[in-house]
């Protein structure tokens, strides 16, 4: 594990103040990434209950849900009733000194509370205002990740077949949208640095998902092909799927002809690479079923770890089907430092979290504070 320790240098975003009105995952993920890079993030929460994810357990770490802990480190928490004059005044004071405001309420909610973009921009002419919604514009549909995976097409291409739509095992649309929000915020800050002008950013879950569908959405808009679920196979690459080794599943992700020739040689069947059915990727995709039967028999004779060692040495992309514990252990063995320990004065032992994946040589991510207790940074009198 990596120890948080003292920050060796100022963060890239030191001095940046973010008023974080985000909840659940997309907004909080974006602001945590920016907080890790040095920004001061003040999280505005509902009194008594706070962010919804505070109650999303198990699992629990003491009184905290692991869900909430995953996206709220390096932040301060203020509990403000935005419908109460005192709470509204405190929120306005925060917004007036902030560089960035992030929110993911239903469209129009903050306008009714006097914290919409037009009003905030009058109070703070340099504000970068980022709104995260489910469906963009003024659409009032609530944007939960599972819902977006369904209506956005992701579940139609995920699962064993077209009759078994399946969600991805994490709220991936929220995470993707959070990344898009962070990129937009940084771009707007760079523009403000050059011109002094404020800007509003709008990202929504549906558009973010359609963009992230990449080759699959491109297949439809460019070629009229509507993709469907293919289990663990790839529509345009073969072999690119899960096989059964002698002990557990193994993934092959062969992306070019050189890799396939190396695979065939390791398996003791070099003639496969010259076979017209398999000599090119297009041919392998066309004759996928025949190729899969041949490879399945050959790969069943050794363990997943055995094939991993042998094939990786020949630069053939493959690996065993890991669970999350195995994945963290692999990252640790590779020297990636996947975890970090953060001191928390409220606990007897440090809290362990997944590290920020961005590696910066001069201004690295820092881990200054554990996720906050609800309202622990409230202004005096609130």
In the chain, the DSSP E strands lie at: 2-3, 17-21, 40-45, 60-61, 64-65, 75-79, 100-103, 128-133, 199-204, 240-244, 249-253, 318-320, 339-342, 351-354
pLDDT for position 10: 83
Residue 174 bears catalytic tag:
yes
Domains (range + CATH), the chain:
2-214+338-354 (3.40.50.10540), 249-320 (3.30.1540.10)
Q: Are 331 and 359 in contact (CB under 8 A)?
A: no
Say if residue 73 is preceded by a cis peptide, omega within 30 of 0. Answer: no
pLDDT for position 34: 98
pLDDT for position 137: 87
Q: What distance in Å separates the CA atoms of residue 338 and residue 2, rounded to the nearest whole number?
A: 8
Give the residue ranges of the chain where pLDDT is below 50.
1-5, 7
Six-digit token string for 174: 């929220």
The region that residue 302 occupies, defined by phi over 0 for left and psi between -120 and 50 for alpha, beta otherwise, is beta
pLDDT, tens digit, 9 for 90 and up, residues 51-80:
999 999 999 998 999 999 999 999 999 999
Sign of dihedral through CA atoms 316, 360, 2, 50?
negative
pTM of the model: 0.91
Among 20, 64, 174, 344, the one annotated catalytic = 174
């Amino acid at each position: 594990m990596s120890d948080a320790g003292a920050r060796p240098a100022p963060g890239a975003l030191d001095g940046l103040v973010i008023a974080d009105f985000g909840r659940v995952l997309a907004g909080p993920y974006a602001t945590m990434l920016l907080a890790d890079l040095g920004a001061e993030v003040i999280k505005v929460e509902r009194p008594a209950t706070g962010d919804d994810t505070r109650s999303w357990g198990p699992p629990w770490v003491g009184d905290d849900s692991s869900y909430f802990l995953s996206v709220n480190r390096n932040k301060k928490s203020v509990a403000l009733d935005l419908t109460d004059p005192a709470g509204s005044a405190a929120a306005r004071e925060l917004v007036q000194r902030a560089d960035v405001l992030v929110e993911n309420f239903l469209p129009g909610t903050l306008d009714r509370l006097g914290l919409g973009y037009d009003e905030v921009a009058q109070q703070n002419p340099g504000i970068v205002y980022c709104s995260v919604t489910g469906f963009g514009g003024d659409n009032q549909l609530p944007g939960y990740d599972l819902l977006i995976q369904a209506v956005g097409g992701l579940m139609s291409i995920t699962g064993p077949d077209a009759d078994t739509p399946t969600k991805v095992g994490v709220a991936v649309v929220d995470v993707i949208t959070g990344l898009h929000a962070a990129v937009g915020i940084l771009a707007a800050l760079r523009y403000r640095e050059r011109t002094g002008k404020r800007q509003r950013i709008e990202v929504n879950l549906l558009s973010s998902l359609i963009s992230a569908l990449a080759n699959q959405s491109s297949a439809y808009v460019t070629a009229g092909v509507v993709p469907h679920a293919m289990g663990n196979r790839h529509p345009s690459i073969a072999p690119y799927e899960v096989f059964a080794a002698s002990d557990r599943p193994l993934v092959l992700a062969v992306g070019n002809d050189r890799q396939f020739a190396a695979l065939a040689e390791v398996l003791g069947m070099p003639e496969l690479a010259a076979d017209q059915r398999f000599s090119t990727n297009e041919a392998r995709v066309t004759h996928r079923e025949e190729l899969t039967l041949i490879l399945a028999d050959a790969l069943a004779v050794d363990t997943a770890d055995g094939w991993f060692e042998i094939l990786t040495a020949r630069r053939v992309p493959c690996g065993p089907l890991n669970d999350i514990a195995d994945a963290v252990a692999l990252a640790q063995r590779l020297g990636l430092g996947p975890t970090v320990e953060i001191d928390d004065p409220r606990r007897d032992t440090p809290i362990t979290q997944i590290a920020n994946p961005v590696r910066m040589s001069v201004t690295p991510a820092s881990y200054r504070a554990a996720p906050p207790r609800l309202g622990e940074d409230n202004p005096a009198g609130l």
